[in-house]
Amino acid sequence: MDITGRTNSLDEESQRLENWYLLLGELTDCLWYPDDLPGLLEGFCKILVLRAGYSHTEIFFENSGEKSRFEATSARAPDFLFSPSDHEHDGIDGIHALTLDFNVAPQMHLTLSVRAPFEINEAAEPRKVLTRFAEELVSAVRALLTTQDHHDLQNNLELLALSVHQSPYAILITNAGGELEYCNPAYTRIAGFSLNEVRKTHVLWNNGAATDAAHRDAFLALKHGEHWHGDVQSRHLNGHLYWERQVVSPLCNDAGQVTHLVAVRQDISDRHFQLQEVEQALLLREQALVSSSNGIMITRSDEADHSIVYVNPAFERITGYHADEVIGREGRFLVRDDLAQPDLEEIRSALRERREGRALLRNYRKDGSQFWNELRISPVKDAAGAVTTHFVSVINDVSERVNYQKELEYQATHDSLTGLANRNLLNDRISQAIAWAKRQNLHVGLLLLDLDHFKLINDASGHGAGDEMLKQVAQRLNMCVRDTDTVARLGGDEFVIVLTDLPESDDVEAISEKIMQSFSRPMHINGSEIFVTASIGVSVYPRDGDHGEILLRYADIAMYRVKEHGRNSVRQFIPEMGVTAISRLNMESAMRRGLERAEFALHYQPKIDLKSGHVVGAEALVRWYHPQIGLIHPIEFIPLAEETGLILPLGEWVLNEACRQQVAWVNKGLGAFKIAVNMSSRQFRQDDLAERVANIIQRSGVDPHAVTLELTESMVMQDVGSTLMTLRSLKNLGLSISLDDFGTGYSSLSYLRRFPIDELKIDKSFINDIHVNPDDAAIAGAIIAMGLSLGLNVVAEGVEKNEQASLLKEMRCTQVQGYYFSKPVDATAFEGFVLKNQARRVGE
């Protein structure tokens, strides 16, 4: 329902009613009681313009050759008594003209010319009315000039009487005391009373309403030229009340004494209820603004004036400013001098273009404290919807949300223990440093630092002391570098330092020396002085590589050279340390010789049962100790071994050595825990794989139930039919099958159900941030639940924090492995780890 449209229509009708009444009243005064002829003619022109809606009225009066001219022009858009013409094109610019000529007397002539914004042709009712008014004017002139009694004009105003009788509005005439003497048919139709039923009663104020007495006093106090208009309640014949808009005016005699009261009424019951609905709606909106938890600010929309005209209580609460302090000011005062905010331009553009806008801004309260404001502005249009008059701004204090998001971002990019950058942020900082150095022709230094014998300190003093040491190490490293450099913790006791903007590659040596000197001072932990040393490997961009992965790998190789040569030192990477020192042909030859000369060795990483905390197995990982280069990590030689086919003899040696070692540990009484061996794709595709594995089991004497072969998802999905046959043949030997790096491949549940798999290993990428990233936690939880539902053992690898282990335990993960428990170690160190674990079990 268009309440505004209907309200406007009723307002127009009410205005027309009042204009009609005033027109008739003023015409009566003008024609009955003129002071002189010019006043009569000039007053007549003004009444037609001001009350009848004519845009221009002009009278030419000629008397015995003497000519006079009187006119009146409307200075505003008229309130029409008559509807605007549907044929305005018949006039010029919608204006219609008419001229009437009259012979008043011999040698006396009167010409009336009018212009109007409505139709006044011969068939139009306004012309008939105007002609009758003009005739009454001529009669008044004659009467004035012939000294005829002006009161006789009343008998000639049949038109007025006819208008009153046929008016759609109720017209009541009372005596000076308010007793009804006349009512028109409209009143009897609206009120239900006949004239006889209400004659001599005080119908103007006798409605039983609380305002009756006030209305009586107001009406009886009216004097010549005064009017009363307002809304009143009237009572119908059947007793119900309804609302009317009423205009009351006095009629006076020549002496100015009130002889009658005339009331014109319009039934506005529908409009009154509509107004009530509008008022209630407006009240509801006002209450909504006042009750809103968001700050509301309404401002002007002038191009040079966006001053505040209203703020709600929430605005006062959020900003600390009282309404009186901000009304008249522009809203930008909340930004103060913090103008370097990108989102400010969006608000400026929205104001210029008079459209909606949204921004996240730093605003400041009255006390100077900052809050984050999620600001939304919207234009407010006028009733026609064409012009923007104001802007409404919604101020939402989202400081808690923004700070929480920043905290999440910080946790996702920083180590929870030391506050240093983690691996994710480190990779980004390295990329940025290299990109900047490339443009500026500078160098980037990368230092990989590993604490020496940290595990011994951790075991001797406890994890709490170890954590405190790591924090102090982080503080010392930060003190050794500039603000533009980055210190990160990779995990465990490994740290990485990114040195940016180095003019020369040798500049990294000064920082390395500074770090070594900082470690020469003891650390105070739990009241004790503890000395710690570090092995540092260094790589430099662009000398050693052009991206972060290569630089980290080479720094790691250099660091391991330090470990092999006594620790507590710094060594820069040189090509001879890695695969780049050996051609592909030489590497292949070196690997063959290495297999013959027993240069390869196995390291073992413990697998821990989460429920009991016991060591229940180990993963065997191959290492190559080159006689000239030193330790070469698998990432350096495994890809080439796969490509050249050397992975077959190497893989067979690894399986044989792992089985032999497992038997040796059983014979030493360490326990019958399982040994897990990774199998390459090329190995797995051998036609006689089952026979080869059976021979190794037979030669080593290992219990096949104590051996687990780890296969990757992508490996088993390459040829499902062949894979299924191979897996069944291996299972027939009594081995266990583990699906390694699960979650990174594309296996389906249907194949997991068909394959004879005993174990799922969750890839490390899903474990890294499991304690801070809900998505990773959800994925890991789903994998664990799925594996357990299929009756599989579930292992999580890459566990580096207690929080990760605790969360995995809550998820009912079966086993874990990672640096939090132990890095891969040689057979002797592994035995020591197992014995300590067993000793703790006895102590418990």
Q: Return the amino acid letter for 402.
A: V
Q: What is the pTM of this model?
A: 0.40
Name the least confident of 1-15, 33-47, 221-235, 526-540: 1-15
Q: Please, how many CA atoms are within 13 Å of residue 378, restricted to the half-sphere of its CB?
A: 6
Residue 506 and residue 435 share a domain: yes
CA proximity to 709, closest of 687, 686, 683, 748:
683
In a domain, 592, yes or no: no
Give me the pLDDT at residue 837, please: 84
Domain end (from 98, 130, 162): 162
In a domain, 621, yes or no: yes
The helix/strand count (H/E) of the chain reads as 28, 30
Helix (H, G, I), strand (E, B) or coil at 718: coil
Task: Provide mean pLDDT across the span 89-93.
Answer: 47
Q: Which is more confidently placed, 263 or 52?
A: 263
Give me the pLDDT at residue 409, please: 77
Residue 519 and residue 373 share a domain: no
Give me the pLDDT at residue 2, please: 46
In a domain, 279, yes or no: no
Q: Which is more confidently placed, 84 or 123?
A: 123
**Which residue is associated with the tokens 């919807």?**
385
pLDDT higher than 90, residue 812 = yes
CA distances from 54 to 47, 50, 60, 410 (A): 9, 8, 17, 76
**Which residue is associated with the tokens 């009484």?**
669
Give me the pLDDT at residue 833, please: 92
- Residue 361: CB atoms within 10 Å: 20
In a domain, 254, yes or no: yes
Size of the chain in residues: 844
Name the least confident of 88-97, 410-419, 530-539: 88-97
In a domain, 811, yes or no: yes
Name the least confident of 316-325, 607-616, 640-649: 640-649
Question: 626 near 590, Cβ under 8 Å?
Answer: yes
pLDDT higher than 90, residue 703 = yes
In a domain, 287, yes or no: no
- Residue 557: CB atoms within 10 Å: 26
**Which residue is associated with the tokens 């086993």?**
815
Q: Is 346 exposed, middle or buried (0-12, 13-18, 19+ CB in 10 A)?
A: middle
CA proximity to 411, closest of 805, 403, 493, 797:
403
Residue 386 and residue 481 share a domain: no
- Residue 699: CB atoms within 10 Å: 11
In a domain, 586, yes or no: no
Question: 755 near 724, Cβ under 8 Å?
Answer: yes
Tell me the pLDDT tens digit for each residue of 329-352. Answer: 988 899 888 888 888 889 889 888
Separation between Cα atoms, residue 31 and residue 43, nearest integer Å: 9
- DSSP codes, 619-638: EEEEEEEETTTEEE-HHHHH
Strands (E), 661-713: 674-678, 707-712
Residue 502 and residue 619 share a domain: no
Structural tokens at position 155: 């008998």
* HEC profile of 132-145: HHHHHHHHHHHHHH
Q: Which is more confidently placed, 291 or 667?
A: 667
Give me the pLDDT at residue 730, please: 92
Give me the pLDDT at residue 607, please: 95
Residue 642 and residue 564 share a domain: no
Question: 34 near 254, Cβ under 8 Å?
Answer: no
Q: Return the amino acid letter for 682.
A: R
Read off the CATH number of the domain in which 385 is found.
3.30.450.20
pLDDT higher than 50, residue 504 = yes
Read off the CATH number of the domain in which 86 is found.
3.30.450
CA distances from 843 to 613, 673, 724, 837 (A): 13, 21, 46, 10
Q: Is 422 exposed, middle or buried (0-12, 13-18, 19+ CB in 10 A)?
A: buried
Read off the CATH number of the domain in which 824 is found.
3.20.20.450
Structural tokens at position 27: 């015409």
- DSSP codes, 539-599: EEETTT-SSHHHHHHHHHHHHHHHHHTTSS-EEE--GGGSGGGS-HHHHHHHHHHHHHTT-
Q: Is 26 exposed, middle or buried (0-12, 13-18, 19+ CB in 10 A)?
A: middle
- DSSP codes, 267-328: E-HHHHHHHHHHHHHHHHHHHHHHH-SSEEEEEE-BTTB-BEEEE-HHHHHHH---HHHHTT
State the pLDDT confidence band at 506, using cuts at 50, 70 and 90: confident
CA proximity to 253, closest of 220, 226, 228, 224:
224
Helix (H, G, I), strand (E, B) or coil at 86: coil
Tell me the pLDDT tens digit for each residue of 766-783. Answer: 888 888 888 888 888 988
As for how many domains the chain has, the answer is 5
Give me the pLDDT at residue 841, please: 60
- Percent of the chain residues past pLDDT 70, beyond the cut: 87
Q: 562: domain range? A: 405-577
In a domain, 651, yes or no: yes
Give me the pLDDT at residue 96, please: 84
- Percent of the chain residues past pLDDT 90, beyond the cut: 29
pLDDT higher than 60, residue 85 = no
- DSSP codes, 229-269: EEEEEEE-TTS-EEEEEEEEEEEE-TT--EEEEEEEEEE-H
User: Which residues partner with 361 through β-bridges?
Assistant: 373
Give me the pLDDT at residue 90, please: 44
pLDDT higher than 90, residue 616 = yes
User: Which residues partner with 360 through β-bridges?
Assistant: 374
**Which residue is associated with the tokens 């990233």?**
773
Question: 759 near 736, Cβ under 8 Å?
Answer: yes
pLDDT higher than 90, residue 805 = yes
Task: Provide mean pLDDT across the span 716-734.
Answer: 86
Question: 811 near 770, Cβ under 8 Å?
Answer: no
State the pLDDT confidence band at 580, using cuts at 50, 70 and 90: very low
Residue 228 and residue 102 share a domain: no
Give me the pLDDT at residue 165, please: 78
Structural tokens at position 488: 């990160």
Separation between Cα atoms, residue 391 and residue 330, nearest integer Å: 12
Kindly give the interhelix angle for 3-32 and 269-291, rounded to the nearest 10 degrees.
130
Highest mean pLDDT among 164-168, 271-275, 626-630: 164-168
What are the CB-based long-range contacts (under 8 Å, 24+) for 629-634? 629/576, 629/577, 629/578, 629/581, 629/582, 630/560, 630/561, 630/564, 630/577, 631/560, 631/561, 631/563, 631/564, 632/557, 632/578, 632/579, 633/556, 633/557, 633/560
Read off the CATH number of the domain in which 507 is found.
3.30.70.270
Task: Return the biggest CA–CA distance within the chain.
Answer: 152
Domain end (from 244, 274, 304): 274
Q: Is 41 exposed, middle or buried (0-12, 13-18, 19+ CB in 10 A)?
A: buried
Give me the pLDDT at residue 11, please: 58
pLDDT higher than 50, residue 78 = no
pLDDT higher than 60, residue 631 = yes
pLDDT higher than 50, residue 89 = no
Give me the pLDDT at residue 88, please: 40
Tell me the pLDDT tens digit for each residue of 229-262. Answer: 888 888 888 888 888 888 999 999 878 889 999 9
Give how far the C-alpha of residue 304 lies from the chain's centroid of Cα atoms, to the nearest Å. 29
pLDDT higher than 80, residue 575 = no
Residue 624 and residue 546 share a domain: no
Separation between Cα atoms, residue 196 and residue 566, nearest integer Å: 127
Residue 829 and residue 683 share a domain: yes
Give me the pLDDT at residue 608, please: 94
pLDDT higher than 90, residue 654 = yes
Phi-psi sector, 134: left (phi>0), alpha (psi -120 to 50), beta: alpha
Residue 757 and residue 625 share a domain: yes
Residue 816 and residue 702 share a domain: yes
State the pLDDT confidence band at 587, using cuts at 50, 70 and 90: confident
- Residue 461: CB atoms within 10 Å: 16
State the pLDDT confidence band at 406, using cuts at 50, 70 and 90: confident
Tell me which H or E stretch contains 666.
helix 647-667
Domain end (from 274, 302, 335): 274
Question: 477 near 487, Cβ under 8 Å?
Answer: yes
Residue 334 and residue 424 share a domain: no
Average of per-residue pLDDT values in the chain? 83
Residue 193 and residue 110 share a domain: no
Helical spans, DSSP H, in 717-826 = 720-732, 749-754, 774-789, 802-810
